[in-house]
Amino acid sequence: MVKYFLGQSVLRSSWDQVFTAFWQRYPNPYSKHVLTEDIVHREVTPDQKLLSRRLLTKTNRMPRWAERLFPANVAHSVYILEDSIVDPQNQTMTTFTWNINHARLMMVEERCVYCVNSDNSGWTEIRREAWVSSSLFGVSRAVQEFGLARFKSNVTKTMKGFEYILAKLQGETPSKTLAETAKEAKEKAKETALAATEKAKDLANKAATKQQQQQQFV
């Protein structure tokens, strides 16, 4: 049995902008699990379509119950092939991705189509399909459930990464990540606490000085 995912997302940027951002989206604050990317093949077809193949390396953190099934020296990195077909005339880009190692544990295949949004020609629509399978006897269902949940989580990161890169390319200030916001809040809290402490010390010193002055007149 294979777990199937079907989803649709919209980026509020033109197809040309999204196409440009697609090749520049790594690194970004939401793609820390992406370690490397290399273009291994590229060609332009006679009908002016751009064909590309990239090799991506990503981290692959297994759940604890899955780690028990594999030796400690098993690589936690996943090698992923990504084929893409860009049709600039019709403004579509289709990508196919699949992992080429750990396939027995879990195979994740994804197909995305980037096209102009039908409701707003200045926006880009992404239609996404994915298939998650496992050939591990006895635990394949659990592996597939885990794989589907992780895939959905990664889709959210992918969209946030896209928005981050698009904002940079368009000269806007990218939205701060949750980690950056939390760090700033923590530093602000430290500054506030330090200021409150200094103010308390100052008030205490003033009170002590005033008390000493009053005692002198007694």
Report pLDDT digits (tens) over 59-81. 877 667 666 666 565 667 899 99
- State both tokens at 138: 């006895």
What's the topology of domain 2-174?
A: Alpha-D-Glucose-1,6-Bisphosphate; Chain A, domain 4 (3.30.530)
Summarize pLDDT for 69-128 with one digit per residue, the tens: 665 656 678 999 999 999 999 999 999 999 999 898 899 999 999 999 999 999 999 999
Residue with tokens 């994740």: 108
- The Cβ of residue 27 has, within 10 Å, a number of other Cβ atoms equal to 13
Tell me the C-alpha distance between 160 and 67, whole Å.
Answer: 29
In the block, tokens 């990540």 appear at 177
The residue ranges of every structural domain in the chain are 2-174, 176-217
User: 21 near 166, Cβ under 8 Å?
Assistant: yes
| Residue, of 186 and 171, whose pLDDT is higher | 171
Q: Which two tokens stand for residue 150?
A: 């992780």
Q: What pLDDT is attached to residue 181? A: 46
Tokens standing for 142? 């659990």
Q: Is the pLDDT reported for residue 178 higher than 50?
A: no
pTM over 0.85: no
**For residues 13 and 170, is the Cβ–Cβ distance under 8 A?**
yes
More confident position, 15 or 139: 15
Token pair of 111 as six digits: 């197909």
Read off the pLDDT of residues 18-63 as tens digits, 9 standing for 90 and up: 999 999 999 999 998 899 999 999 999 999 999 999 999 998 776 6
